[in-house]
Structure 1
Amino acid sequence: MLEERHDPEPLERRPEARTFKVEDLLAELRLGRVRIPPFQRGIRWKWQDAAKFFDSLYRGYPVGTLLFWETGAEPADVHFGSVHISAQARTDALWVVDGQQRLVSLARVMLAPEPNLDDFALYFDLDQRSFVRPPEDLTEDPSRWLPMTEVLDSERLMQWAFEHVTNNSVRRERAFTLGRRIRDYEIPAYLVRTTREETLREVFGRTNSSGVSLSQTEVFDALHSARGPVRPATLGQIVSALEALDFGRVEEKLLYRLLRTLRGLDVIERADDGPRHLSEAEALAAYRETAETAERVIQFFRADAGIPRYELLPYKKPFVLLGKFFKHYPNPRPRSRDLLARWVWRGALNGAHRGDTVSTRASLERIVSGSEDTSVQRLLELVKARPRALPDAADPFNFRHATSKLQALALLDLKPRDLESGAPIGLDLLAGPQEQVLSMPAITERDSGALAKSVANRLLHPKGPGLRRLLVEVVDPVILASHGISEDAIEALRRDDIDGFFAARARVLRNHFDRFFARHARWNEPDRPSLAALMVDDEEV
């Protein structure tokens, strides 16, 4: 189990302390010796961070210590931004344990095939002696701007200087000084040599336990991800696989909570927990179980609860609770699925799914092994209180809030149509993959009282200019009804009576919301368990 602690194995050999000149380090990288293991986090630095790093090299400031694991590596295509290297198999590859951001920045800035090709492209301003983005107009004063792609090779730098800096000895000398300082800068490093990957992961976990450390999900991936082709081998890979279900991008931190729950751990990792350790087989099983369970949860949300996108979940807590339920009951009876859908909606409407740690732990305890129906009934007990008020069309709209997400789900139920073509608007046109928010533009930007900030001023429609103009030109009542707009409302809008439009639309939406939420929560229907649970075996009588 993850809770078990163990005394980590000592290193067979003490780490070798050495230094790498920047030019030597990049030579090793070009040869394919430097590798980035899959447990490393993605690139977090921006070009500004790279510029500060190079400024430290130039000024001789400390830039930290690198940590490498020297071991074998298979042939691979290695990518550092725009820099692509076909690396051969090696027995002495240097896998980066600590220093990824610095090494990748070195490669992207100095080894890019073209000066302006990479997003990290930097120039050195020979007048201000600072590192800057590529200037907009290099032709105005080309001798002032030194591309950092010309600096690594001294002969190449000399050729650039004599071609571009013909009449300015100060700039030329500054270019040569920069080159010497960058190329000759010695970065300290440790080389760890061990045959035990578990020991290396222990070193990694301790290296990233203080300062600007990795997130909990990244540390878990660092300690347990596989270097081989087995998938899923990281939480990030699970996220990518789940995106194929067209449910949106599930957050890694939520999947990590699900993984912990499935492994029998506290759903929230405490700061003093420290790194957890699994064997390779256990880690792969944990990733696989998390991926499979998350897929079942997503299918349930879409098919049974009628929630088609991750960003439309009013609260995230049900995702983890359903995961535990499906762990024990991967193929629940139809009656259980129906009651769980009610549980999802009731808890969203009365706020019971609001996910503080204490309530999440208590809710998870309601799910027990050995009795599917008991677990369902115990969950339903948590959401039996009816809300004092349902989401109202006059409430301020903010898509980050649960109430507004519930309103968006109700608007989707109207099956909105395109204002111009009349065609049904698919979720693919409404959901931005990066924004994680549906397109719900305002009909008018005019501030006309409280309702201007409500859902009465929002459309589930692709963004575009002239939305109000398109709306007043619609004459098909089917299109208007698909957005909850009555004839009275559209006539008010055509008269430029904005307040009248909002009020009339709010009345229509309020009635629709009440019917929609009642249909999903089904407060007035009995919540009896399945008939199978009520049947008593003759031998038990």
Structure 2
Amino acid sequence: MSSGLDTRPSATTYDVEKLVGMAWRGQIRVPHFQRDFRWGREDVIRLFDSIVKGYPVGSLLLWVRPAAEQILTLGALRIEAPRMDPSLWVVDGQQRITSLANALHEEGGRDPRFALAYDLRNERFIPRPTAEDPHVVPLPILFDLRKVLRWFTAYPGIPSSFQDRAFNLTTVLRQYPMPAYQVEQESAEVLQDIFDRMNNYGKRLSKAEIFSALYAGEESAQDRTLTIDLIATHVDEQFGFGRIDNDTVLRAMLARRGPDPEREIRTEFDDENRREVIEFPGEDRDTAYQAGEEALARAVRFLQNEVGVPHFSLLAYRYLLIVLTRVFAHFPDPDPANRRLLRRWYWRAALLGPEIFKGSSTGASRALCAKIQPSSLSESVQSLLNTLNRPAPPLPELRRFRTNEAATKITLCSWWALTPRDPSTGALSDRIQLAECLTDRPTAADAVRYILPSRLVPEKYRLWAANRVLLPSMGQEAGKNVGDVLANPPITMDEGTWLKVLDSHLITPEMATLLQNDQVVPFLQGRQSNLISIVKSFLDRMCEWRFENTPPISDLLIEDLPGDEPALPDEEFHASD
């Protein structure tokens, strides 16, 4: 049992200016037993909103102890931290300190979660716009009075009331007091116990958080140690797939190492005491993390390039990614025939759903991962397909459009396959636009726009897919009425391009005329019929229900029977004459 603290904590207060300054200099460190950074952009915005409103944001708990020289990663910041004695290690408050240090530093904006600005007109914090707006001040500028003065010098037309508002915000941000307790304690175990009690009483840790704490790695190697959170970041940065949640990343890693991704994790690297199948005996923690990231990356590449799922928010079910990670872990480069069968399997599984398995998603994950045998790709793929040996289910319901539901995600993938065009420019949508539009968003809602405002649509039709379009390029342009844009082609756009725009959204010229004439119900009914046809066509092509699940020809070849002599090439016959 722990003996407790050597000395009582001392109470102090840091203003934000001093706190972030210490973080930028490397005086604040994060101990290895801390959880990964988990906040999203909305959490960071709420923190700053609380500060300017004068709300309390909680106290910090800081561990006073020496720190070695190291390259420190804090959010998006990479800091060359010198040896310091003392330094402050964050036991409680990592999310707040990381958010402040990144959002107020220009380099922090490389991570969209921290790329924030203040809208002087609407008096709120918003994501930093791509084009500079005189009335929207980036936080790194707002935090520095000299930079604020230069900003208004560059834009002299900004009203003096807005300038006063900005100067006041600068003062509030810099001087906001953050209460802190400082603990001087030699034993890291005592601090881990404090951390555990502060964070875990009354709420349950996720499986990924427990795993990260159990296998945090050595403190001295933290600047080069791969974590679950870093794997999610790397995959998002490499593919623009969106941020996969940590629990899915963990289960994908576990699926690579064994057939049950829901297994007990406390003996994961203990071969002697682990009861489950050991497929990689003797593998250490760092090797498992690296290999897990590589397998997950191959699965994501397959989803994007061959399956037609461009973003994590359009993945029908998360367990499907877990299963594919196991496949691509043991078979990094499947042959074309099996890749096509895997694509077929994904869409059939997405349409049938996890309800056909005992225990729903958890049961599906276990049952399907168990079908993947490292000894044979074809047998594994055939086993996966055999679990779905059922009649084709009904099409997704298009009278209920919810971006957090599998049916709508399937529908959106069918729209993405049409390569939707921006009605303002005619430009094709791409994955980069989609990823930027959906930064830090759990669903694809920000990339979907209403064609007509709900107030103009009869209640019966308000949930219909027919009143939605997939427009990632217009995701942040809330002021535009999409119906007006789709009804009236831009003056500068030629007719051929305009027809391609309409076709990419399954709107005929006749439907556009209905929009122009405010014929709401006939427009929705006609477009709904088009949507049903395209979803059916898409799923027929992807699921291939009428095709036999024939393995590759190479797996069907019969070897020569004993005693049969292979025929010699002609030139060998001539040589023996």
Partner of 2:6: 16
Partner of 2:403: 399
Superposed CA deviations along residues 486-534 of structure 1, whole A, max 9, x for unmatched, are 2332232233211111111122222222111101111111111112221
Q: Cα distance, 1:371 vs. partner?
A: 1.5
What one-letter code is carried by the residue in structure 2 that aligns with 1:73? Answer: A
Q: Cα distance, 1:262 vs. partner?
A: 2.5
Partner of 2:383: 378
Partner of 1:347: 349
- Determine the C-alpha separation between the residues in 2 that align with 1:381 and 1:513: 24
- Determine the C-alpha separation between the residues in 1 that align with 2:404 and 2:63: 42
What one-letter code is carried by the residue in structure 2 that aligns with 1:407? Answer: T
- Determine the C-alpha separation between the residues in 2 that align with 1:524 and 1:107: 57
Verify: 1:267 aligned to 2:261, yes or no: yes
Give the TM-score normalised by structure 2: 0.67
- Determine the C-alpha separation between the residues in 1 that align with 2:380 and 2:527: 42
Q: Check the 8 A contact 1:69/1:96 in 2, yes or no.
A: no
What one-letter code is carried by the residue in structure 2 that aligns with 1:483? Answer: H
Distance change in 2, residues 1:540/1:231 (3 Å): farther
What one-letter code is carried by the residue in structure 1 that aligns with 2:251? Answer: R
Verify: 1:117 aligned to 2:147, yes or no: no
Q: Check the 8 A contact 2:403/2:409 in 1, yes or no.
A: yes
Partner of 1:234: 227
- Determine the C-alpha separation between the residues in 2 that align with 1:24 and 1:328: 51
Partner of 1:458: 468
Higher Cα Rg: structure 1 or 2? 1
Distance change in 2, residues 1:232/1:505 (3 Å): farther
Q: Check the 8 A contact 1:72/1:90 in 2, yes or no.
A: yes
Superposed CA deviations along residues 198-226 of structure 1, whole A, max 9, x for unmatched, are 99878866875534565332333334345
Q: Cα distance, 1:274 vs. partner?
A: 6.1
Q: Cα distance, 1:95 vs. partner?
A: 3.5
Q: Check the 8 A contact 2:50/2:56 in 1, yes or no.
A: no
- Determine the C-alpha separation between the residues in 2 that align with 1:521 and 1:15: 62
Q: Check the 8 A contact 2:401/2:463 in 1, yes or no.
A: yes
Distance change in 2, residues 1:306/1:499 (3 Å): same
Q: Cα distance, 1:96 vs. partner?
A: 3.7
Alignment of 1:172-251 (within 5 A): 187=181, 189=183, 191-193=185-187, 209-212=200-203, 214-226=205-217, 227=219, 228=221, 231=224, 233-243=226-236, 244-251=238-245
Partner of 1:361: 366
Verify: 1:298 aligned to 2:313, yes or no: no
Q: Cα distance, 1:352 vs. partner?
A: 4.2
Q: Check the 8 A contact 1:32/1:86 in 2, yes or no.
A: yes
Distance change in 2, residues 1:209/1:512 (3 Å): closer
- Determine the C-alpha separation between the residues in 2 that align with 1:105 and 1:301: 32
Unaligned runs of 5+ in 2: 103-139, 145-161, 272-281, 490-494, 564-577
- Determine the C-alpha separation between the residues in 1 that align with 2:519 and 2:347: 36
| Equivalent position SS for 1:459 | strand
- Determine the C-alpha separation between the residues in 2 that align with 1:278 and 1:205: 23
Superposed CA deviations along residues 430-478 of structure 1, whole A, max 9, x for unmatched, are 4321334252211112122533421111112224412211222235433
Q: Check the 8 A contact 1:67/1:98 in 2, yes or no.
A: yes
Distance change in 2, residues 1:305/1:353 (3 Å): farther
- Determine the C-alpha separation between the residues in 1 that align with 2:315 and 2:175: 51
Partner of 2:447: 439
Partner of 2:425: 421
| Equivalent position SS for 2:420 | coil
| Equivalent position SS for 1:219 | helix
| Equivalent position SS for 2:469 | coil
Q: Cα distance, 1:356 vs. partner?
A: 2.1
Verify: 1:410 aligned to 2:414, yes or no: yes
Give the TM-score normalised by structure 1: 0.71
Aligned residues: 462
Partner of 1:312: 314
Moved more, 215-224 or 72-81: 72-81
| Equivalent position SS for 2:448 | coil
- Determine the C-alpha separation between the residues in 2 that align with 1:276 and 1:336: 31
Q: Cα distance, 1:322 vs. partner?
A: 0.9
Q: Check the 8 A contact 1:486/1:508 in 2, yes or no.
A: no
Q: Cα distance, 1:422 vs. partner?
A: 2.1
Unaligned runs of 5+ in 1: 1-9, 58-62, 109-113, 119-135, 153-181
| Equivalent position SS for 1:189 | strand
Partner of 1:518: 540
Q: Check the 8 A contact 1:219/1:275 in 2, yes or no.
A: no
Alignment of 1:25-44 (within 5 A): 34-37=28-31, 39-40=33-34, 41-42=36-37
